[in-house]
C-alpha cells in the first residue's frame, strides 16, 4: 500500500511575507483537478468516503482542520495548520475532515477529474473493497 505522508512544500520568506508553491515534482501524481472547501460551519464533518482511484494532496491554506485517516486497519489523525504542508492521501483510504476552524480554507489537488463512481461512501463497503484487493 502506498504511504500516507505529509509533504513539506517550499516556503520563501522575506520581510514582505511568505510565499509557497507546489509543482508536479513535489507530488506523486499528475494534477487533473483542484477544488477547495470553505465556509464550513462549526462542528461539521466532511469526507466520510474513500476513492478507488483518486489520489489527493490536501493543503490547508488558511486556518486549521483535522483529517482522520483510516486504511482499514489503523486510524490516524493529522492536524493541518500550515499552508506549506500538504497531506498526501493515496487511493483506497477512508478519510474524514473535521474540526474546521473559523474561516479555514482547504485546497485539494486531485489526480482525477470528478467521478462519483470512484467514491466508496459506505464504510462496510470500503472494508470489503480493500479486503478484496
Tell me, by CB under 6 A, how many residues bind ligand TYD. 6
Known catalytic residue at 26: no
- Member of 10, 11, 18, 35 binding ligand TYD (CB under 6 A): 35
**CA dihedral in degrees (106, 66, 56, 11; nearest 10)?**
60
CB of 72 closer than 8 Å to CB of 22: no
- DSSP assignment, residue 53? S
> Pick from 60, 58, 1: which is nearest to 27 by CA?
58
Window 92 to 121, contacts with ligand TYD (CB under 6 A) = 114
Nearer to ligand TYD by C-beta: 117 or 131?
117
Write out the catalytic residue numbers. 49
Q: Could you list the residues that contact ligand TYD (CB under 6 A)?
A: 33, 35, 37, 46-47, 114
Amino acid at each position: 500500500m502506498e504511504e500516507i505522508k505529509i509533504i513539506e512544500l517550499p516556503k520563501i520568506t522575506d520581510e514582505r511575507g511568505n510565499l509557497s508553491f507546489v509543482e508536479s515534482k513535489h507530488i506523486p501524481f499528475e494534477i487533473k483537478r483542484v477544488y477547495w472547501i470553505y465556509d464550513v460551519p462549526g462542528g461539521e464533518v466532511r469526507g466520510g468516503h474513500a476513492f478507488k482511484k483518486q489520489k489527493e494532496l490536501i493543503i490547508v491554506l488558511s486556518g486549521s482542520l483535522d483529517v482522520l485517516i483510516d486504511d482499514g486497519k489503523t486510524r490516524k489523525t493529522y492536524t493541518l495548520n500550515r499552508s506549506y504542508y500538504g497531506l498526501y492521501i493515496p487511493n483506497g483510504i477512508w478519510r474524514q475532515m473535521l474540526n474546521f476552524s473559523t474561516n479555514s480554507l482547504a485546497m485539494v489537488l486531485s489526480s482525477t477529474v470528478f467521478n462519483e463512481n470512484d467514491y466508496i461512501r459506505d464504510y462496510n463497503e470500503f472494508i470489503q473493497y480493500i479486503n478484496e484487493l
